[in-house]
Every structure is written in C-alpha cells, then in structure tokens.
Amino acid sequence: MSGSVRLYEVSLRDGLQNEPVVVPLEQKLSILNGLVSAGFTDIEVTSFVRPRWVPQLADASALMSQLPKTDDVRYWALVPNQRGLERGLEVGVQNVATFLSASETHNLKNVNRTIKESVAGLQSVLQTATAEGLGIRGYISCVFGCPYEGDVDVEKTIDLAHAVLDGGADEVALGDTTGMGHPEQVKRVLMRIVDSGISLDKIALHFHDTRGTALANVYAAWQLGARSFDGSISGVGGCPYAAGAAGNACIQDLIHLFDRMEISSGVDLERACHVGAHLEGALGRSLPGRYHQYWQGSRDRKAVKSA
Amino acid sequence: MSGSVRLYEVSLRDGLQNEPVVVPLEQKLSILNGLVSAGFTDIEVTSFVRPRWVPQLADASALMSQLPKTDDVRYWALVPNQRGLERGLEVGVQNVATFLSASETHNLKNVNRTIKESVAGLQSVLQTATAEGLGIRGYISCVFGCPYEGDVDVEKTIDLAHAVLDGGADEVALGDTTGMGHPEQVKRVLMRIVDSGISLDKIALHFHDTRGTALANVYAAWQLGARSFDGSISGVGGCPYAAGAAGNACIQDLIHLFDRMEISSGVDLERACHVGAHLEGALGRSLPGRYHQYWQGSRDRKAVKSA
C-alpha cells in the first residue's frame, strides 16, 4: 500500500434527503451498522433541518440517540443554523457540518438568504460548536458550477473557505452539487485554494456523478494531494424523482479505485456492496453506482448458475 | 479550445455483438447516419466474423455495401482472420481492425489459439491489408487485466504492439476488455510503451466502464499525451445477459468530458445523445452510460413539465 485516503460516507443524509420513500429508523440503524462494520471512519448520519422540510430526516434526534457505540467512527450531522445545532447538542452530537453555497442564486433558492446573510448566520453556529469542542466541517456547494448561474468564480469559494476555517471549522468540503465539475477544473480550483494559504489536509471533495465525471475528478484531486473524499453507498442521492439524475459519487467506485491503486481506504469493498443491496431493498429502486451494478450483476449470475 | 482528441466509435460492432436482440439492417443504417451527422470521424461498423458465431453481425457485407457516402468518415470493420479480410475486401472495406489478446487464457477462450498462433496468423492478414492500402488497427485485449489470469504482464502487450506495428498496422488499440484498469496503471503501461519506442500517436485506448473507472482512465491517458479514445453510444456493449455488466466507455461521457475541458472532439454531444435514444429503442433495454441517463432524465423532466 502506498498511502491512504479517508472516505466520508453520506448515504443516510445526502443520500436519503430527496428520496420519495421515508426509510424507517430501524432500517437506517441496520444500514448504519453495515457502514460501521465495513470500516467507515466518518459517517454523516442525518440533518437537523426542520422536519417538515425534510420528512426523510425527521427522526434525527432518535437516530442520534441510538448510534452504534464505537470509538472508531466519527458520526456527523448537518446543522443548517443555530436552532439545528441546539437540537443536535441536546442529543449529544459530536461532529457537525454546516453549509452555504458559492453561488448566490443557489444559496437564495436553497436557504432563502444571500451568501452574506448565510456567512453572518454561520458565525454563531461556528462559535457555539467550537465552544462545545465539536468537530466542524463546512460544506461549500456549487464550487464547480451552478445549475442556475453556470460557472462559479473560484474567488467566491476561496473567500468562503477562509471564512469557514477562520470561524473554527476543521475542514471544508468542496461540493460539486450537480456534477458539473471536470478534472482539469478540479486541479485549478485546488491549486488556487492552496495558493490562498489553505492546506489540502483541510479540504474534502464532495463530487456527484451526474454526468460520469466523479471518479476522474477524484483522481485529479488525489493527484494534487487531496486525501479526503465523500461518497454514498451505490450512488444514492441526487434527485430520484427524475429518472437518470444521478447522486453522489458511488463510494464503492471510490473504494475499488483506491484498492486497485493500492491506496488504503480502510473500508471493505464487499461489505460496502452488501450495504448497497440492503439500501436498494429499503428504497425499492435500483441504485445507479457503477461498481454497485457490477457487483449486483455478478451476484445475479452466480445465483443463476447455482439455480 | 486547447487541443483536440479523436474519438473512435464502436457501437455497431463491439456494442451490438453480444446483444440478445438482432438489430435489423435498416435500423443499423439509421443509427450510422446519426453517428455520421454527429460528427464522428472513425466508426467501426461491423465484423467479418463467421455469421453463425455472431448472428448480430451476419449482415456485415450488406451493411458495408450501404454505408453513408462521405469523405469525412473512416469506416472500420473487424477482421478476425484472412477469410474475414477477404470477405471485407469483396465489399470494398477500406479500414480493418485485427485483434489478439495479451492474456494467453483469454486468447485461447476467444479464438481457440495460443497467442503465438494468433501472431503467426496475423502476418498474412497484415500483409494483405498493407498490400491493399487499407488503414489498419490492431486491438490488443486484456492489457489492463484478464478475468481468467488477473494481472497481465505489460511486456506481453509491448511485444504484441511491436509485432502489430512492425507488421504494418497504423495504430494499436489497448483494450481494457473487462474494465479492470485503473488510472495509475494506465499511466505506467503507457510510459512503458513509450519507453519501448512506440509513439503515443500510434496508440488508442479502448476502455470498458464495468467498475466505473473508464473516465478516470481516459483522463490519465490524456494527461500522458494519448489523444485517441474508443467508446460506444450510451455505453452499449459488454454482456447484457447479466444485469449490471457494463459495456464500453459511454462516448457521450467522453464528449462531455472533453467539451468541459475545452478540448475539441469534433462530435456534437446533443446529436450523439439522440442516437443513444434511438439505440435504446432499437434494443428495447435501457443503456447504462452516465451522461446518457442524465440526458434522458432531463428530457423526461421536460416532457413532464410540458404535459
């Protein structure tokens, strides 16, 4: 093995938040146990957003109270604002993720605030979280393109990344929210961020595979020295109401890529695939991840052979 | 635009040869017209393999006789042996592709010959094709891994590449036949090939996207200086009998990747996507290509909005 990477798993939050099916708490806990046993060290499990906005995650407090006990995993919860953070703290959240967008239009559509208002609101969240000794991640959305605005100025991302880190965050996750990024752009953005004085060990990459570029983007970022990558089991996420709108980078694709490159992710590919089969059953739809589909196909062939 | 790439389209040959449905000649010609109008310069249209082995391509001679007339496209046909080449010459083939495997076991299973026997048999094919002034491509399969043998020694590939080029081929296509390759390996193999004295302008890369690595592999090869890439519309190909066994690199994924990187492929992405929709209809199954699925999903959403 030549080095290692850290994979940050987002199925239960980013993966489920747009699903038409509400996955029951027991199913989520079963999936979570699968993720833990596969070896993930960072799992984003829910969001303390208003339950009526995202009914899929309305069980956030209950879920947080029943997390598998282990010292090997950091559990993360998204907190959209101070109220969300307080709800998290009530149930002992230890790692929180905040978010805002590098695109003004996307930020307005997402949270009905300007970026400036979001940055101002974030300060108290970061202060409280820092005072409570929490791990803090700051997502920046639409870094590699915005469905409303198209290209997004990298200076916006750099300003926000500094604001988030200066406010106390441990890391910044750069989001390719709708899968518009390409590998040469990923390199340019990361080089500009490094030039601005931010070390790559503070940066995670959150790609979506909408147009097939996620793994090429991961590889480009890895080449530059990035070592932290987000993904979801079997690529769950995105907007499943519309056929073909793919979700997050399929985390099995990432595990397999790094396995083949002899870089340790610490995650067992086969176990991750079993979680994918379970998740597909829970959602009642097939999931798009490429390795997931390959693995399911191999399994079906074996079943046919032994039948 | 900063440079250009050449895309080599293989839907009608590699894409269809394992399909359970036999696509009628008129449908093939309609798809071929779509490919030509999308701007592809290199299209592999069929194989002169024995019709009873591959009934999907039994119309090879009829198809070759009805190719759209244009000076902008090189039409290619696969010729497994001297007999196949002669059948091609009877109908005026101008560019032929030969093949053998870098894996002994795969070569035996594929053509019931050792690699040595294949190389010997290839000499007369290459001589005749050269004497006839044909364009010649030599495929080498399983360069990046073999489903039977696992890792494949790059020296095998280098020896075969030299044999094929010395025999008169214009280019060698390195095949990742079952999608086992990864980008660091692609770089290592290409560097070794260049070190052996073969210029990268003689090399095409033929990736399959079985495990999601195709675009990362394309990107890695492009970084090293390779400029010729194979793909099929919507990723048709592979083994469709088994769910999830993905086919060739989806050529729309490649067009989109290079469009985003401002590298000219000369192919119109939207037109290629329309061919994908047509092909999906002709096969009666959904095709796996990521950009294809994104495009179909966007189309469905528009249809719902206007309904």
Answer whether B298 sits within 8 Å of A256, measured CB to CB. Answer: no
Q: What is the pLDDT of residues A150-192, one digit of tens each?
A: 999 999 999 999 999 999 999 999 999 999 999 999 999 999 9
**Euclidean distance between CA atoms B178 and B239, whole angstroms:** 10
Q: What is the DSSP letter of A264?
A: B
Answer whether A246 sits within 8 Å of B301, measured CB to CB. Answer: no
Answer whether B219 sits within 8 Å of A218, measured CB to CB. Answer: no
**Percent over 90 (pLDDT), chain A:** 88
A184: closest chain B residue by CA: B261
Q: Can you read off the two tokens belonging to residue A252?
A: 């099995």
Answer whether B182 sits within 8 Å of A257, measured CB to CB. Answer: yes
Answer whether A256 sits within 8 Å of B211, measured CB to CB. Answer: yes
Identify from A208, A211, A233 which residue to disrupt to test chain B contact, counting B C-beta atoms within 10 A and taking the largest count.
A211
In degrees, to the nearest 5, what angle opens at C-alpha B212 toward C-alphas B209 and B213? 85
Q: Can you read off the two tokens belonging to residue A94?
A: 């230890």
Nearest to residue A128, comparing CAs of A167, A99, A91, A164?
A: A167
Mean pLDDT of A3-14: 97
**Euclidean distance between CA atoms B84 and B174, whole angstroms:** 22
Q: Can you read off the two tokens belonging to residue A1?
A: 């093995």
Least CB–CB distance from B212: residue in A179, A215, A220: A215
Query: Rounded to whole angstroms, what are the CA distances from A191 to A174, A199, B216?
Result: 13, 10, 20
Distance from CA of B100 to the nearest CA of A (A): 25
User: Which residue in B142, B146, B239, B273 is the catalytic one?
Assistant: B239
Enumerate the active-site residues of A: 239
Task: Tell me the average pLDDT of chain A.
Answer: 94
Query: Rounded to whole angstroms, what are the CA distances from B5 to A215, B264, B268?
Result: 20, 6, 13
Nearest to residue B212, comparing CAs of B146, B290, B147, B295?
A: B290
**How many C-beta atoms lie closer than 10 Å to residue A171's C-beta?**
20
**Euclidean distance between CA atoms B218 and A186, whole angstroms:** 16
Answer whether A242 sits within 8 Å of B301, measured CB to CB. Answer: yes
- H or E element in which residue B89 lies: helix B82-90
Answer whether B216 sits within 8 Å of A212, measured CB to CB. Answer: no
Distance from CA of A6 to the nearest CA of B (A): 19
CB pairs under 8 A between A and B: 125
Answer whether A210 sits within 8 Å of B243, measured CB to CB. Answer: no
Nearest to residue A244, comparing CAs of B250, B149, B103?
A: B250
CA B188 to chain centre: 22
**Euclidean distance between CA atoms A27 and A31, whole angstroms:** 6
Contacts with A291 from chain B: Cβ below 8 Å:
211-212
Contacts with A300 from chain B: Cβ below 8 Å:
242-244
**Euclidean distance between CA atoms B178 and B244, whole angstroms:** 12
**Euclidean distance between CA atoms A95 and A129, whole angstroms:** 9
Contacts with B218 from chain A: Cβ below 8 Å:
216
Distance from CA of A260 to the nearest CA of B (A): 6
Identify from A293, A295, A298 which residue to disrupt to test chain B contact, counting B C-beta atoms within 10 A and taking the largest count.
A293
Domain of residue B189, residue span? 6-306
Per-residue pLDDT, B2: 73
Least CB–CB distance from B211: residue in A211, A245, A291: A291
Do B178 and B137 form a contact (C-beta atoms < 8 A)? no
Per-residue pLDDT, B298: 84
Q: What is the DSSP letter of B56?
A: G
Q: What is the DSSP letter of B12?
A: I
Residue A76 phi, psi (nearest 5):
-115, 145
Q: What is the pLDDT of residues A57-84, one digit of tens each?
A: 999 999 999 999 999 999 999 999 999 9
Answer whether A212 sits within 8 Å of B245, measured CB to CB. Answer: no
A1 inside domain: no
Reading phi first (left if > 0) and then psi (alpha if -120 to 50, else beta), residue B63 is in: alpha
The H-assigned helical ranges of A212-306 are 214-224, 251-260, 269-283, 290-306
Amino acid in the structure at residue B4: S
Query: Rounded to whole angstroms, what are the CA distances from A98 to A49, A125, A230, A252?
Result: 11, 8, 15, 25
B238: closest chain A residue by CA: A294
B34 inside domain: yes
**Euclidean distance between CA atoms A8 and B32, whole angstroms:** 44
B1 inside domain: no
Per-residue pLDDT tens, chain B, 307 aa: give them: 579 999 999 999 999 998 888 999 999 999 999 999 999 999 999 999 998 989 999 999 999 999 999 999 999 999 999 999 999 999 999 999 999 999 999 999 989 999 999 999 999 999 999 999 999 999 999 999 999 999 999 999 999 999 999 999 999 999 999 999 999 999 999 999 999 999 999 999 999 999 999 999 999 999 999 999 999 999 999 765 554 556 899 999 999 999 999 999 999 999 999 999 999 999 998 999 999 999 998 887 776 655 5
Q: ipTM score here?
A: 0.95
In chain A, beta strands by DSSP E: 6-9, 42-47, 74-78, 95-101, 135-141, 171-176, 203-207, 228-231
In degrees, to the nearest 5, what angle opens at C-alpha A248 toward C-alphas A247 and A254? 135
Distance from CA of A3 to the nearest CA of B (A): 14
B138 inside domain: yes
Answer whether B182 sits within 8 Å of A260, measured CB to CB. Answer: yes
Mean pLDDT of A106-130: 95
Distance from CA of B3 to the nearest CA of A (A): 14
Mean pLDDT of A234-243: 72
**Euclidean distance between CA atoms B232 and B214, whole angstroms:** 12
Contacts with A295 from chain B: Cβ below 8 Å:
244
Count of domains for chain A: 1
CATH code (residue B46): 3.20.20.70
Distance from CA of A91 to the nearest CA of B (A): 39
pLDDT of A88 above 90: yes
- H or E element in which residue A86 lies: helix A82-90
**Residue-wise DSSP of A157-184:** HHHHHHHHHHTT-SEEEEEETTS---HH
Amino acid in the structure at residue B247: G
pLDDT of A134 above 90: yes
Contacts with B179 from chain A: Cβ below 8 Å:
294
- The B-side interface with A (CB below 8 A) comprises 179-180, 182-185, 209-213, 215-216, 218-220, 242-246, 250, 253, 256-257, 260-261, 288-291, 293-298, 300-301
**Euclidean distance between CA atoms A69 and A90, whole angstroms:** 18
- H or E element in which residue B173 lies: strand B171-176
Per-residue pLDDT, B297: 87
Distance from CA of A300 to the nearest CA of B (A): 7
Nearest to residue A63, comparing CAs of A21, A96, A30, A98?
A: A30
Residue B253 phi, psi (nearest 5):
-60, -40
Per-residue pLDDT, B240: 52
Q: Can you read off the two tokens belonging to residue B193?
A: 């090939």
Residues 6+ apart with CB under 8 A from B159: none
**Euclidean distance between CA atoms A204 and B58, whole angstroms:** 52
Answer whether B244 sits within 8 Å of A218, measured CB to CB. Answer: no
Answer whether B213 sits within 8 Å of A256, measured CB to CB. Answer: yes
